[in-house]
A and B are shown apart, each in its own frame.
Chain A
Amino acid sequence: MGQTLTEKILSRVMQRPVSAGETIYPEPDLVTVHDWYVVNFDKALQELGVDRLYDADKVLIATDHEPIALNVLSSERQRNMRKIAQKYGIKRFFDNGRGGHGHVFPMELGYVTPGMFVLAYDTHVTNYGAVGALGIPMITEITDVLACGSVWIRIPETIRVNLTGKLPAGITMRDISQKLTVDQDAELVDYCTVEFGGPALKDISVDQRMTLCNTPLEIGAKSAIVEPDQVVLDWLSPRVSRKIELVKSDRDAHYKQVFQYDLGILEPQVAAPPRPDNVVGISAVAGTQIHQAFIGSCANGSLSDMRDAARILKGRKIDAGVRLIITPATQEIWARAAAEGLIEVFAEAGALLTAPGCGPCAGGRIGAMAPGEVSINTGTRNDPGRLGTTEGQIYLASPLTVAASAVAGRITDPRQFL
């Protein structure tokens, strides 16, 4: 019997054929850790009596949850992080102003390519599925990987989603990914890889694929991956000198379930408080007054997201009762957005730009909400407290919807601005 993409990648890593359900100890090609966890893993390793990493050359540290120190405590934390990176000989250490969001820039730099296997501290490493790599989050058990080179995983079963049709005007991949989340049975998706394929893929950019791979996590998927194709090759070829092989699922692979999903949905989708899977059509919440808006995060901080925001904001002003924060995910996206004149559009509309990274989505360290306020943003989650206060209401939507809502001061269907 054939193999799914997930089984194929893990078979290559294990140097023997493996299949879903097996428990294995695979050694990843890359290990990513984010700024906030660096001090903690160092402490955990010390407690275990480990003073050198299993393979420091595989480890990458991103400074994205707190990309700029906001007080003396965070300055100290960053200083310690630099010392720890040096102590363990971690060369791929990306400090303030280098790289940006750890779920995005390693793809830009060509560190992540099709068929790679990545283990990470942070949950949204599934973004790497955009280029056909398998990223699995381990949270604190990343310590095991740093010390011993691997940690146990049960090889996930795969749910295959064949995308068909075209995105209607005003509908983005964020709307699709949110709708997909609500249309899925969480019980079915739990511990599975969600694998995307189908005829619509040829028109779906790598930027959009990141959004697609970001959301299934919120309903319990173990990972998400897009079957890599020419779109990925074209995106990666200026970034990677080595030959790229497109690893795909076998035609006779065994899937837990296969279904088709048409991109032609009827209206923009909004995740209402208090959970990301509480998704409704925009007409159900349109008119809700907002105070804060944010475009960015690992789900929607790409160049195409910046372009979407600018399409709405060009020649318009943000409502007087709203602050709009825009965070390009990486230094590269920021530079390209500037070259295209998008940053000028944001500035003239009255938006704020913050340092590349997670933006407010990392617990509201930057641009927090006050109690009683309402936010609409493109972050990953809307649990109470995600943007600082637990006494606020958070709606999640596409960059188009967020920008339109920031202009109107109320949750607004972006199609009336296009």
Chain B
Amino acid sequence: MDFIYQGRCWKFGDNLAVDADLTKKEFATQRELRLEVLREYCMVGVDPEFAKKAKPRDIIVAGKRFAQGNPHIQGLLGIRGLELGLVVESIPRGSFRNAINAGLPFITRAHGVTQECETGDELRVNFETGLFENLTRGTRREYQPLDKALLETIAMGGWKPAIAKRIAEMKLQRRVPA
């Protein structure tokens, strides 16, 4: 997987709610998991036109407690569905796991990142090294990337392919009965 994303910056504030802001609230209770459905409603609570405007490999930048609320995966799958990257100042525990499980490349604990860009700037982000470049401003910052083990899960496409691979390997090693 190519972990270097270059595209338009879409900037949002603090405390975006995983259900009401990032997607349609009903998707969590309906357990909707199809990327092609969820991507159409990506960020619908803050910008109903977002899914039409964003292009693959664009980057969402947001403040603290991104995707806060009851840890449902749908909002994060929607971002993955549009093939976007994500750089945030913080993401609560449950949504951190869900972002990995959704196969979404992201950087968290990017302190002050919302001061580093505006919507419309051209960004280049390397999710493997943590290098964040604002090509419009000509600035660069280095953030802590995710651990290798987690990037591997993301590269595989998230939880489902990762667990399937793990089970297949364990069966080969006869650690679980075939």
Contact with A50, one of B94, B147, B153, B167 (Cβ below 8 angstroms): B167
* A88 proximity list for chain B (CB < 8 A): none
Contact residue among B159, B166, B177 (Cβ-Cβ distance under 8 Å from A51): B177
B145 CB to nearest chain A CB (Å): 12
Is A14 an interface residue, CB under 8 A from the partner? no
Q: Which residue of A lies closest to B177 (CB)?
A: A52
State the majority secondary structure of interface residues on A: loop
Q: How far is the CB of A293 from chain B (nearest CB, A)?
A: 26
How many A-B residue contacts, CB cutoff 8 Å?
53
Number of residues on chain B facing chain A (CB within 8 A): 25
Assess whether B176 is interfacial by the CB under 8 Å rule: yes
Are the CB atoms of B166 and A148 closer together than 8 Å? Answer: yes
* Contact status of A190 and B163, CB under 8 A, knowing A23-B149, A152-B149: no
Docked-complex contact B149 and A147, CB < 8 angstroms: no
Chain B residue contacts of A320, Cβ below 8 A: none
Number of A positions contacting B (CB below 8 A): 24
Whether A308 sits at the interface, judged by CB under 8 Å, is no
A147 contact from B64, B96, B167, Cβ within 8 A: B167
Q: Is A141's CB under 8 angstroms from B97's CB?
A: yes
User: Is the CB–CB distance between B176 and A52 below 8 Å?
Assistant: yes
Rounded to whole Å, the gap between the CB of A36 and the closest CB of chain B is 16
Set A50, A148, A187, A191: member contacting B96, Cβ < 8 A: A191
Determine if A22 is an interface residue (Cβ-Cβ < 8 Å): yes
Does A364 have its Cβ within 8 Å of any Cβ on chain B?
Answer: no
Complex interface residues of chain A between 24 and 65 (CB less than 8 A to chain B): 25, 48-52, 54
| Residues of A146-201 contacting chain B, CB below 8 A | 147-149, 152, 154, 186-187, 190-191
Q: Bound state CA distance, A143 and B159, in angstroms?
A: 11
Kindly report which residue of chain A lies nearest to residue B91, judged by CB atoms.
A190
Could you tell me the distance between the alpha carbons of A220 and B175 in the complex, rounded to whole angstroms? 35
Is B90 part of the binding interface, using a Cβ–Cβ cutoff of 8 Å? yes
Using an 8 Å CB-CB cutoff, how does the interface string of B46-73 with A read, 1 for contact, 0 for none?
Answer: 0000000000000000001100000100
Chain A residues with a Cβ under 8 A of chain B: 22-23, 25, 48-52, 54, 139, 141, 143-144, 147-149, 152, 154, 186-187, 190-191, 220, 222
